[in-house]
Amino acid sequence: MDKKPDTIRPDIIRIASAQLNPTVGDISGNLALAREARADAARHGADLVVFTELFIAGYSPEDLVLKPAFIEECREAVEELAKDTADGGPGVIIGVPWREKSGDKKGLYNAVAVLDGGKITDVHFKVDLPNYGVFDEKRVFDAGKPSGPVNFRGVLLGIPICEDIWGDLGICETMAECGAEILIAPNGSPYYRDKVEIRHQVVIKQVIESGLPMLYINQVGGQDELVFDGASFAINADHQLAIQLSQFEESVSVSTWRRGDKGWYCKKGPASQIPDSNEADWRACVLGLRDYVNKNGFKNVVLGLSGGIDSAICAAMSVDALGEERVRCVMMPYHYTSGESLKDAEDCAKALGVRYEIVPIVEPVEGFQNTLAHLFEGTGSGVTEENLQSRARGVILMAISNKFGSMLVTTGNKSEMSVGYATIYGDMNGGFNPIKDLYKMQVYELSAWRNTCVPPGSMGPTGEVIPENIISKAPTAELREGQLDQDSLPPYPALDDILESLVENELSVEKIVERGHDKAVVERMENLLYIAEYKRRQAAPGVKITKKAFGRERRYPITNWFRDRD
């Protein structure tokens, strides 16, 4: 007598990892992407294709999930995809926001649906909802209860969803105790520097505790401030890395799993090399900018090219992201703009092959000065007059943006944004900032690195794209005669160490002084950091690179009298 299908115990299963780039809110587009990936997986003999966290909605949908129509449309898309599995091809595990009435709870879950045989065979809920850093899922989702594995064609699969493997709730152990044979973890894990190694250690810990192998699947792409870098992988029960997919690249990769004497194991597969920190940071900035521009429907970008390092690196990233034909650079000289800056800006534009124009700002600045003369009578010239230059440039760039539909790229680094060394409604104007989370010294390091390397997927040229003189000269805003950044700030190596200590590491003034810094300088930088919060609240979004980026991840009050003093 033949066994029933659900009692058959196969000794081999082929699982496709769909490391893809969904778009938040594009439910029909994400469904089409899933169908295409499933067809690709079928051609390669897959039994199952696994998509990432909340794939059908796009991650992270934030408060979109509070709209009943959105949840209903997501469910309908998954039901449509389930019908496709009646063809006998690969089954599907796919992330979806899911509403299910449950007493007095919201009944809204971060879930995965298991699809096979033309129907939804199981829905599994996320248990551990993250509520730190960039995550606040407890606002919108209910936590699921710990549960056992799902039976997929005779293989018992434990499906911990993202945070379920990062926390200490023993979720993977529970699944193992309930009979799970393989752990499959769909993720929406955003990039920060050296994150891949951290993920490996997290998974190894769960593998050790559960005794089971794990397939970790992460999405790719930019979503507002976040960049998802893929780098999916599998680790066997012996703690060895079986497969490693590429970082920052989409793929549908089939892995082969066999049942052995000691349980299931993944055969050795792709072993992509993970980029070093500089390449990874660069590619994250480029991917974040590219997806922000393309997913929001901009045809091209414009930015001010000053001859300084920040605008130069942003121009290079823009070309790598979009190609030279979609990047427009504008030099806007004033009395204090040096001949050296004019040459450096022109050389940079030529090296990148971008459209380059010069628009002098003498007339608009003097127009503002004349208009304000009777109001400013009897006062000395100072920062206000300097900022008129920056704001005139901001007005010109925004006019170009409005007229031609180009997104304005903002070019301020994290060091400047930390201490408010930026002009609100001036050089802070713009739609997106690719270097918002890079400190000044990281900007220098990456600029030098890009002159010797062309990362995969880059659309820019080889060779020196940022003139060496831009990298080697002393930084200056050129808003007054002979001005240098170090007139009002500590040298950038010292400043960056102080700021990283304050922002990323939350160190006290005393601890930072112990690192060799002058106490008065540290206290002044701390004060500047706090009083610049109102500017940062109004700044353009930008790519998250560090463990603690400004914005949704570091939420300090604008009105704040606290200072760390003995």
| Residue 287 is assigned to a structural domain of this protein | yes
Token pair of 257 as six digits:
């799993």
Average pLDDT over residues 487-505: 91
Q: Are residues 207 and 264 in the same domain?
A: yes
Q: How far apart are CA 111 and CA 160, in angstroms?
A: 10
Residue 346 counted as domain residue: yes
Domain boundary among 204, 235, 268: 268
478 φ/ψ sector (left φ>0, alpha ψ -120 to 50, else beta):
left
- Whole-number pLDDT of residue 423: 92
- Residue 83: pLDDT above 70? yes
Please tell me whether residues 22 and 155 are part of one structural domain.
yes
Helix, strand, coil in percent for the chain, rounding step 5: 40, 20, 40
182-198 in b/e burial notation, b at 16+ Cβ within 10 A?
bbbbbbbbbbbbebbee
The confidence score (pLDDT) of residue 167 equals 86
Q: Which of 149, 148, 127 is nearest to 138 (CA)?
A: 127
Stretch 36-48: mean pLDDT: 97
Higher pLDDT, residue 449 or 9: 449
pLDDT, residue 282, reads: 98
- Element at 15 (helix H, strand E): strand 12-19
pLDDT in tens, 239-251: 999 999 999 999 9
Q: How does pLDDT run across 335-355, given as a tens digit for each residue?
A: 888 899 999 999 999 999 999
pLDDT digits (tens, 9 = 90+) for 440-482: 999 999 999 999 999 999 999 999 999 999 999 877 765 667 6
Query: Beta strand pairing status for 251-260 and 263-266?
Result: antiparallel
pLDDT exceeds cutoff 60 at 2: no
Single-letter code of the amino acid located at 182: I
pLDDT of residue 4: 42
Q: What separation, in Å, do the N-terminal and C-terminal C-alpha atoms of the chain show?
A: 82
| Single-letter amino acid, residue 38 | R
């966290």: which residue's tokens? 53
Top mean-pLDDT range of 166-170, 380-384, 509-513? 509-513
Q: Quick one: 225 and 329 in the same domain?
A: no
pLDDT of residue 3: 37
Q: Are residues 239 and 320 in the same domain?
A: no
Residue 395 in domain: yes
Q: Which residue has the tokens 């209910």?
A: 142
pLDDT of the residue at 485: 65
- Alpha carbons within 13 A on the beta-carbon side of 360: 7
Does 533 reside within a domain? no
**Residue 1 maps to a domain:** no
- Is 320 or 128 the better-scoring residue by pLDDT? 320
28 and 168 co-located in one domain = yes
Q: How many distinct structural domains can be found in the chain?
A: 2
Residues 302 and 217 in one domain: no
Q: Is the domain of 252 the same as that of 314?
A: no
Report, as an integer, the average pLDDT of 530-553.
Answer: 92
Q: Per the domain annotation, does 4 fall within a domain?
A: no
551 inside domain = no
pLDDT at 140: 87
One domain for residues 136 and 255 = yes
Whichever domain contains 386, its CATH number is: 3.40.50.620
Q: Which pTM was predicted? A: 0.93
Beta-bridge partner residues of 247:
230
**144, 289: one domain:** no
54, 188: one domain: yes
- In this predicted structure, what is the pLDDT of residue 105? 60
- Domain end, chosen from 235, 268, 301, is at 268
Number of neighbours of residue 201 by Cβ within 10 angstroms: 9
Q: Kindly indicate the confidence band of residue 388, based on its pLDDT and cuts at 50, 70 and 90.
A: very high
Neighbours of 491 (CB within 10 A): 11
Co-location of 264 and 315 in the same domain: no
| Region of residue 170 (left: phi > 0; alpha: psi -120 to 50; beta: else) | left
Domain boundaries, position 352:
278-367+381-484
Q: What are phi and psi of 120, to 5 degrees?
A: -85, 115
Of 268, 298, 324, the position where a domain reaches its end is: 268
List the catalytic residues. Answer: 53, 126, 162
Q: Is the per-residue pLDDT at 122 higher than 50?
A: yes
For the segment 172-197, what is each residue's pLDDT rounded down to a tens digit? 999 999 999 999 999 999 999 999 99
Between 131 and 264, where is the model more confident?
264
- Identity of the residue numbered 74: C
Lowest mean pLDDT among 54-68, 100-114, 145-159, 373-387: 100-114
Please report, for the domain that includes residue 242, its CATH number. 3.60.110.10
As a residue count, the chain comes to 566
For residue 245, being part of any structural domain is answered with yes
By CB neighbour count within 10 A (0-12 exposed, 13-18 middle, 19+ buried), where does 359 fall? Answer: middle
